[in-house]
Each structure stands twice: as C-alpha cells, then as structure tokens.
Amino acid sequence: MTDTCLTHHTFSDCLWIRCTSRGSFVNSPTLKSLADKYLEQGGKNLVIDLEMCSGIDSTFMGTMAGLANRCLSAGGSLQVASPTDRTRQAMESLGLDMLVDIDPPDAFWHADLEERRRELADDAHSSEGTGGTHMSEVARTRHVLEAHNTLRSMNHKNAETFGYVCETLEEDLMRHGDDH
C-alpha cells in the first residue's frame, strides 16, 4: 500500500500536511509519523489541508484527534484547512471540532493560504515510504486501535460507537501474541 497522497512542508510556524485523496487507515500512520517527528523537534502547530481530500475514515480522524491532543499539550494547535462539507460533517459528528480548529477564519495561515499552497507544491516532500506504508499487520492493527481508543475517549457516543471495533482489534492483537 503506497501512500503518495500526503505531501508536507515545514514552515516557520507550522508543519503543513496536504491530503490529496482519501484520508484513511492506509495513510494515517504516515500522518502520525510526520507529525511525531515535527512535534519531537519542538514544533507545536499542525495544519492538515483537506481541500483536495475526498473523505476521511475514523482511523484518520482518530489519528488527528491524538495529534491535536499532543499539540494542545505543547501549547499549539491542530487546524484543518478547507475541508469539504462532507468531511467537516464527519469530523463534527465525532466531536473533533472540540479539539481541532476546523477552517478557522482567523487562522495564522489564512491570509497567505494560496501562497503556502504554492510553496508546498514547489517544495513539497512526498510522504511515500514514510511511516505507515510498510507496516506489519500487528503494527497497523495497533495503530488503528490507538486511533479508535482516542475517539472513544472523546465522548460517550464515540465510546458506544467504537467499542466493538476496539474489542475486535484487541482480540486480533491477542491472537498474534501482542498484548499491546
């Protein structure tokens, strides 16, 4: 499973990650890996650009929620640029709007959005081969479980919605001898 739909660029004030197809369990490990490296180096602000994103699944959203928590703990934020209405509704339905700033009109990057996108296009780094593209089945299952546990911890509705998913993933890990 290759992942060429995420490109990224580090600006002085944020790590900008652009998703140009579907945000899913396939590329969410890459999203996490890119953000982890940035945050470990002292970065605080992430911008996930979803203008070209056709949709996002629960694993991608759970990964975003986990990253948002880390940004908030570091005194920063995770912001989403230009989501489609459908993607915005998906994020809001799970409560991500309580952690993530979704297309805020007063965002630090809003005034120069197109300039940032041009710079990203000119100097973008593809994420292919980073993070999740070559994960073992157990590592990918652990990642999906972590994302869904993050969603479950956000509110009661998510706890009910994703309870069975998490139980199933935990059983899969136990069958593989991984007690996570």
Tens digit of pLDDT for each residue in 120-164?
888 766 655 444 557 899 999 999 999 999 999 999 999 999 999
Q: What confidence tier does 180 reach under pLDDT thresholds 50, 70, 90?
A: low
Model confidence, pTM: 0.90
Is the predicted pLDDT of residue 81 greater than 60, yes or no? yes
CATH class belonging to 6-134: alpha beta
Contacts of 169 (CB under 8 A, 6+ apart): 141, 144, 145, 148
Question: Which residues face 125 on adjacent strands?
Answer: 8
Beta sheet of 125-126, edge-to-edge order: 101-102, 77-81, 45-49, 15-19, 6-10, 125-126
Question: Which residues face 19 on adjacent strands?
Answer: 6
| DSSP at 18 | E
Is the predicted pLDDT of residue 1 greater than 50, yes or no? no
Distance from the Cα of residue 179 to its chain's centroid: 25
Parse the chain into domains and list their residue ranges. Answer: 6-134
Q: State residue 123's pLDDT score.
A: 76
